[in-house]
């Protein structure tokens, strides 16, 4: 059995990256910086870039290489918003704060595509929209209500009937849905590498193969011990998402990490490229155990869904994924599957990303629930605003709370998956 962690090497993105890996900076001696960043994914890279651009001295440490975590292995669907509808944001945080949050997260995809344009990142960006496709009638009503809420706020959103989804995706498997034209797609590893290049150009030092092992208060600064030396920093930003290790006690136990797996086919012949998800849109369905799919820039069908629980990859899950792809797109049966890989998705109990401030200027942004491209990029900027300007953030800072039943997570996740499966069969929306 192979390991999910190591499947980074077999991903389509590793095989097809056009942005070269950065030349990492050598960690030659212990030193002081304004900001130390832990984690070379979208959260950490976006923070490093934003801080370096404002003239701060920045050092980012990454255990492996840039984009090795979820950032370099995801589905490349750049989706704005949170899993809460705008009305739910207002109900949860109050009219004013909820509206401010909706506005901020609603523009998260703009930030991603602006950064790509500003820094000339070679990541095949395409902004044709994201479809949330309904598998059942109750789900259709629920997501179209969501779509109408965004529409009322002026977002470029349309409701789709069955024909509309079929026209845009080439599958008849859904009853309808909505399309959010703010969204788009990219090659995620290229995007991560491009952010790293931009952060370096702005003056940030990036240290790959360097793991942060301990963070302690040292006078009015933080001392970050790493496998290659020590950083002393006024502020520390941590972006580990589904790859949280023991660095921050209790952080990994505040999340439920589940594997998401993907398969990619060989490049499709022209006739199929014009039929299967032809319009450049990306799609996820309303099932809680959702499948998601798109066509890549080089004309492959990319199909993702639930993977095994834990780090071991289970071939049966890839088999189930390929079967689901064939059910959704019967024409794909003729295509060879050339790439299979997986990664960890960090879920939170409330379905929302969390910001923790563990001491003055020691900040964590985590728990994107499978929506971390736009939100992780935005989070990095938010945390820099908090660290340097004590900005009031659109999401409240929460206390780090390990989940009490975390030791039982494997059976709990299995139970949760069974419950989600039952709800999917009953037609509830995710």
Ligand X SMILES: Cc1cc2nc3c(=O)[nH]c(=O)nc-3n(C[C@H](O)[C@H](O)[C@H](O)COP(=O)(O)OP(=O)(O)OC[C@H]3O[C@@H](n4cnc5c(N)ncnc54)[C@H](O)[C@@H]3O)c2cc1C
* Site of interaction with ligand X (CB under 6 A): 38-44, 61-64, 68-71, 73-77, 79, 211-212, 239-243, 245, 247, 260, 262, 304, 342-345, 368, 370-374, 376
**In the complex, least distance from residue 247 CB atom to ligand X, rounded to whole angstroms:** 4
**In the complex, least distance from residue 291 CB atom to ligand X, rounded to whole angstroms:** 12
Strand residues in 39-168 grouped as ranges (E): 58-61, 77-78, 130-134, 157-161
Nearest residue (beta carbon) to ligand X: 372
**In the complex, least distance from residue 290 CB atom to ligand X, rounded to whole angstroms:** 11
Strand residues in 144-193 grouped as ranges (E): 157-161, 176-180, 184-185
Burial string for 192-208 (b: 16+ CB within 10 Å, else e) reads bbbbbbbbbebebbbbb
**In the complex, least distance from residue 141 CB atom to ligand X, rounded to whole angstroms:** 25
Closer residue to ligand X in complex, CB, 90/130:
130
230-233 long-range contacts (CB < 8 A, ≥24 apart) are 230/30, 231/30, 231/31, 231/32, 231/33, 231/36, 231/59, 231/61, 232/30, 232/31, 232/32, 232/33, 233/32, 233/33, 233/34, 233/35, 233/36, 233/59
Closer residue to ligand X in complex, CB, 242/394:
242
Token pair for 175: 């009853």
**In the complex, least distance from residue 185 CB atom to ligand X, rounded to whole angstroms:** 8
Contact 150, 180 (CB under 8 A): yes
Burial string for 375-410 (b: 16+ CB within 10 Å, else e) reads bbbbbbbbbbbbbbeeeebbbeebebeebeeeeebe
**In the complex, least distance from residue 27 CB atom to ligand X, rounded to whole angstroms:** 12
**In the complex, least distance from residue 281 CB atom to ligand X, rounded to whole angstroms:** 13
Closer residue to ligand X in complex, CB, 171/240:
240
Token pair for 365: 């942004």
SS3 at position 212:
strand
**In the complex, least distance from residue 351 CB atom to ligand X, rounded to whole angstroms:** 13
Closer residue to ligand X in complex, CB, 37/90:
37
Q: What's the half-sphere exposure (Cβ side, CA atoms, 13 Å) at 231?
A: 30
Give the single-character DSSP code of 244: -
Q: What are phi and psi of 102, to 5 degrees?
A: -60, -40
Closer residue to ligand X in complex, CB, 90/112:
112
Closer residue to ligand X in complex, CB, 260/286:
260
Closer residue to ligand X in complex, CB, 49/373:
373
Closer residue to ligand X in complex, CB, 19/241:
241
């Amino acid at each position: 059995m192979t390991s999910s962690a190591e499947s980074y090497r077999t991903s389509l993105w590793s095989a097809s990256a056009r942005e070269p890996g950065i030349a990492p900076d050598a960690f030659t001696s212990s030193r002081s910086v304004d900001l130390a960043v832990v984690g070379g994914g979208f959260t950490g890279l976006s923070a490093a870039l934003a801080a370096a651009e404002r003239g701060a001295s920045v050092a980012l440490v990454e255990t492996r290489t840039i984009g090795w975590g979820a950032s370099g292995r995801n589905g490349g669907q750049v989706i704005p918003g949170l899993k809460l509808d705008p009305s739910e944001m207002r109900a949860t945080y109050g009219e004013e704060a909820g509206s401010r949050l909706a506005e901020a997260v609603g523009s998260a995809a703009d930030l991603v595509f602006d950064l790509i344009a500003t820094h000339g990142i070679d990541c095949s960006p395409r902004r044709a929209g994201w479809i949330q496709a309904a598998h059942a009638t109750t789900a259709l009503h629920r997501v179209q209500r969501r779509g109408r809420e965004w529409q009322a706020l002026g977002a470029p959103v349309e409701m789709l009937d069955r024909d509309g989804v079929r026209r845009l995706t080439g599958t008849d498997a859904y009853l309808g849905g909505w399309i959010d034209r703010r969204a788009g797609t990219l090659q995620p590893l290229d995007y991560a590498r491009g952010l790293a290049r931009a952060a370096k150009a702005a003056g940030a030092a990036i240290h790959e193969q360097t793991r942060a092992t301990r963070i302690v208060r040292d006078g009015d600064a933080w001392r970050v011990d790493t496998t290659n030396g020590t950083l002393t920093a006024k502020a520390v930003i941590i972006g580990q998402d589904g790859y949280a290790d023991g660095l921050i006690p209790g952080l990994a136990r505040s999340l439920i990490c589940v594997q998401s797996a993907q398969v990619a086919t060989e490049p499709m012949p022209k006739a199929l490229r014009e039929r299967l998800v032809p319009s450049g849109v990306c799609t996820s369905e309303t099932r809680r155990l959702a499948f998601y799919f798109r066509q890549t820039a080089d004309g492959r069908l990319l199909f993702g869904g639930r993977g095994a629980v834990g780090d071991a990859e289970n071939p049966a899950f890839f088999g189930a994924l390929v079967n689901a792809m064939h059910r959704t797109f019967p024409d794909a049966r003729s295509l060879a599957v050339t790439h299979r890989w997986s990664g960890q998705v960090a879920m939170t109990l409330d379905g929302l990303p969390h910001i923790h401030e563990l001491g003055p200027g020691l900040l964590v942004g985590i728990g994107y629930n499978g929506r971390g491209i736009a939100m992780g990029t935005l989070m990095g900027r938010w945390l820099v605003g908090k660290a340097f300007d004590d900005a009031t953030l659109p999401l409240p800072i929460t206390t780090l709370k390990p989940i009490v039943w975390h030791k039982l997570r494997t059976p709990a996740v299995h139970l949760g998956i069974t419950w989600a499966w039952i709800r999917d069969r009953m037609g509830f929306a995710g």
